A and B are shown apart, each in its own frame.
Chain A
């Protein structure tokens, strides 16, 4: 719970500091999905700490931490004042992004143009990392296919206390959340948003639904084997945009081959790769969620 509030507070901080895109992501991830995974893990491994096992060196660690912190604070004394417009970090590549991106890329949201065009390599790498982490979770918590009608402990809990009002509210809410996710996905060029946020919001809607109706119902809504295939398709879609420009004799992920008009070309490229990002992120988040929650009750908890 505290963790979730922490996520929400940091999201509002980002909002306050003009980082709307970041605030969006943090609100969905920090306040939603990440505490959920923590809770699931605690439900699996047991929630009580063995007090005997507590290491007896708090003093040493406290000293180390204090010294490191003091050194870092001394380091900040040389830093430019917070919010100064002439700080070194604002004078390197940022002016180019801010002044030229609207003309070069043709979309008003600079964050999206940097993410999907100037630094598309980076983003490709990050999507690959997310995909790999998803594979890692699946291989660690591999769920069994033997019995499809398997009972899950979490389902019993959900059935036990039937939250009728909440269920109706969720039923009403899920559709707008999904539409909102699509809006965020395709409006990311003009307003805050993009593939990463949309993917997380989309997954959050499904997760919310599953939490109130049980895993077996949730699995009827989303077919996990299709989700698994799509998590790879998203990444492939992203990579193949690069291959298209590769084959046409330009650099990898150079969108100018996609259309005559450079701005249109950039636009097509960005929409396609954002779609790839969105698909992968949404699918991986759903896979991770199901992997965790199916595991609850499978291991012995003392």
Chain B
């Protein structure tokens, strides 16, 4: 069944599009960052799904086990998660500074102030 075979990828896409929608349609910078985060997690899920092997076990050597999940995506994603929180923190601190100097975190209001 094609639906069951690809269901995971579709869920990823839906999640990704939710994140994308928030990023492009919301003017509030904090909401944009939340959208980016959802987008990011969808990519994580995508990688892990690709690395998954049906009937496999976690990639830790085990007597008798022959089928393991692909360890490479796990490595990439586990570092990406920690890097992701660090960069999110950087983005949030930028938002705090924007709030301090513009008095607002709405995109439209910031653009208006820039024009003046």
Residues of A whose CB lies within 8 Å of any CB of B are: 3, 6, 10, 13-14, 17-22, 24-26, 29-30, 33-34, 37-38, 40-42, 44-46, 49-50, 53-55, 57-58, 61-62, 64-66, 68-69, 72-73, 76-77, 79, 81-85, 87, 89-90, 93-94, 97-98, 101-102, 108-111, 114-115, 119, 122-123, 126, 129-130, 133-134, 136-137, 140-141, 190-192, 194, 196-197, 199-200, 281, 284-285, 288, 291-292, 295, 299, 302
Q: List 20 A-B contacts (CB under 8 A).
A: A17-B49, A25-B81, A33-B85, A50-B104, A54-B27, A57-B25, A65-B17, A68-B17, A69-B13, A73-B10, A90-B51, A108-B60, A111-B74, A114-B72, A123-B79, A130-B83, A140-B96, A191-B60, A199-B82, A291-B93
Q: Which residue of chain A has the shortest Cβ distance to B20 in the bound complex?
A: A65
Would A19 and B74 count as touching, CB distance under 8 A?
yes
Closest 3 CB pairs of A and B: A83-B54, A81-B5, A108-B61
Would A140 and B72 count as touching, CB distance under 8 A?
no
Q: Which residue of chain B has the shortest Cβ distance to A289 in the bound complex?
A: B89
Complex alpha-carbon distance, A194 and B95, angstroms: 32
Q: Which residue of chain A has the shortest Cβ distance to B92 in the bound complex?
A: A41
Chain B residues, Cβ within 8 Å of A69: 13-14, 16-17
Give residues of chain B (55-82) contacting chain A, Cβ–Cβ below 8 Å. 55-62, 67-82
Would B60 and A130 count as touching, CB distance under 8 A?
no
Would B75 and A119 count as touching, CB distance under 8 A?
yes
Would A140 and B75 count as touching, CB distance under 8 A?
no
Would A130 and B82 count as touching, CB distance under 8 A?
yes
Give residues of chain B (7-27) contacting chain A, Cβ–Cβ below 8 Å. 7-10, 13-14, 16-17, 20-21, 24-27
Mark B14-46 against chain A: 1 for CB-CB distance below 8 A, else 0: 101100110011111011001001100100110
How would you classify the secondary structure of chain B's contact residues: helix, strand, loop or mixed?
helix
Not counting A18-B53, A98-B59, a sample of 15 additional A-B residue pairs whose C-beta atoms are within 8 angstroms of each other reads: A18-B56, A22-B77, A26-B81, A29-B82, A37-B92, A49-B31, A76-B10, A77-B2, A82-B54, A89-B51, A109-B60, A123-B79, A141-B97, A194-B78, A199-B82
Interface residues of B, count at CB 8 A: 81
Contact of A76 among B6, B20, B51, B97 (CB under 8 A): B6
Provided the pairs A94-B70, A115-B79, A133-B87 are in contact, do residues A45 and B44 lie with their beta carbons within 8 angstroms? no
Provided the pairs A14-B48, A45-B30, A76-B6 are in contact, do residues A115 and B85 lie with their beta carbons within 8 angstroms? no
Would B14 and A50 count as touching, CB distance under 8 A?
no
Contact of B75 among A26, A45, A89, A115 (CB under 8 A): A115
Provided the pairs A10-B45, A41-B96, A299-B96 are in contact, do residues A98 and B68 lie with their beta carbons within 8 angstroms? yes
Chain B residues, Cβ within 8 Å of A37: 85, 88-89, 92
